[in-house]
Amino acid sequence: MYLHDLNDAQKALTMDLMLHMLPEDRRGSPDGQSRIRWYCSEMGIVPRFAPLLDEDTALKQLTQISSTITLRKVFIELAILAMSCTEYEKLEQKFTDKYAVLTGLQRSVFDEVLHLLEEISYACQRLGELVNIPG
């Protein structure tokens, strides 16, 4: 959704953060690899399945070279990725503790962003169910 707006350095750092957000067992699964390829396609970069930097280093570097608006865009993409995981509650707490403060969003706006993303996720799931109704 927003990843094509990033410069090359931001894309590489975002890729590291995304890989850290995906549990290791999902990175190697066909679904996880498909998701990684999709994100890489959106960013126009070659897929990779292991982070180059640890999470804290990647996040620090991203904040050093990004505006608050860019950090918000990356945050939304990470939230979407987290919602696709079965460990969403754990990841949501991680967002609250680590990433949300970097976006400059007030807590009420942050909560609204997560609520809207949950609605989008539900709508996509429901569309999939409706499209795949047999016969």
Instruction: Name the pTM for this structure.
Output: 0.76
Q: 94 exposed, middle or buried (CB, 10 Å; 0-12, 13-18, 19+)?
A: middle
Q: Which residues of 16-37 are buried (b: 16+ CB within 10 A; e: fewer)?
A: bbbbbbbeeebbeeeebeebbe
Residue predicted with more confidence, 33 or 135: 33
CA distance 31 to 52: 21
CA distance 73 to 90: 21
CA distance 89 to 70: 24
CA distance 135 to 120: 26
Contact between 88 and 114 (Cβ < 8 Å): no
CA max distance for the chain? 54
pLDDT tens for each residue of 62-107: 999 999 999 988 888 888 777 766 555 666 666 666 777 778 888 8
pLDDT tens for each residue of 21-77: 887 777 778 888 888 898 899 999 999 999 999 999 999 999 999 999 999 888 888
Which two structure tokens, joined as six digits, stand for 47?
A: 């897929």
pLDDT band for position 8 (50/70/90)? very high
